[in-house]
């Protein structure tokens, strides 16, 4: 007797059409929770097309972070650009002393 099964539900003995529902396609989502029926999962709400989320923003965010890091490193290098001849500068400083 199926009703003695602990996973049995009242709707399992009916077809989806008898429950005034329909089976959603693979690329659709049911607006409410699906229930079990004799012919599989049954949606008594509305089936709507699943929106695919774009992941382009992740790539753009990573590219922006990399560009900012490169820019900061370039600015730091540009500021710390020292003398082209540090030994010559030091010699001139020592020659100026009395």
Does any domain span residue 29? Answer: yes
Residue 40: the pLDDT is: 87
CA distance linking residue 21 with residue 15, whole number of Å: 9
**Domain range for 44:** 2-49
Does any domain span residue 55? Answer: no
Does any domain span residue 19? Answer: yes
Cα separations in angstroms, 58 against 61, 63, 65: 5, 9, 11
Does any domain span residue 75? Answer: no
Encoded tokens for 14: 């009916």
Q: Which of 49, 53, 52 has its CA nearest to residue 28?
A: 49
Residue 6: the pLDDT is: 57
Number of domains in the chain: 1
Residue 43: the pLDDT is: 92
How many CB atoms sit inside 10 A of residue 13's CB?
13
pLDDT in tens, the chain (98 residues): 444 555 555 556 788 888 889 999 888 889 888 888 888 889 998 998 877 777 888 999 999 999 999 999 999 888 876 667 778 888 888 888 77
Does any domain span residue 57? Answer: no
Does any domain span residue 63? Answer: no
């Amino acid at each position: 007797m199926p009703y003695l099964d602990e996973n049995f539900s009242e709707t399992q003995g009916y077809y989806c059409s008898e429950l005034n529902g329909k089976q959603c396609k693979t690329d659709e989502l049911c607006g409410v929770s699906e229930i079990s029926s004799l012919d599989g999962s049954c949606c008594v709400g509305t089936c709507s097309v699943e929106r695919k989320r774009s992941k382009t923003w992740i790539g753009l965010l990573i590219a922006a972070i990399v560009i900012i890091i490169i820019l900061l490193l370039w600015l730091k290098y540009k500021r710390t650009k020292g003398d082209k001849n540090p030994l010559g500068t030091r010699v001139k400083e020592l020659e100026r002393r009395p």
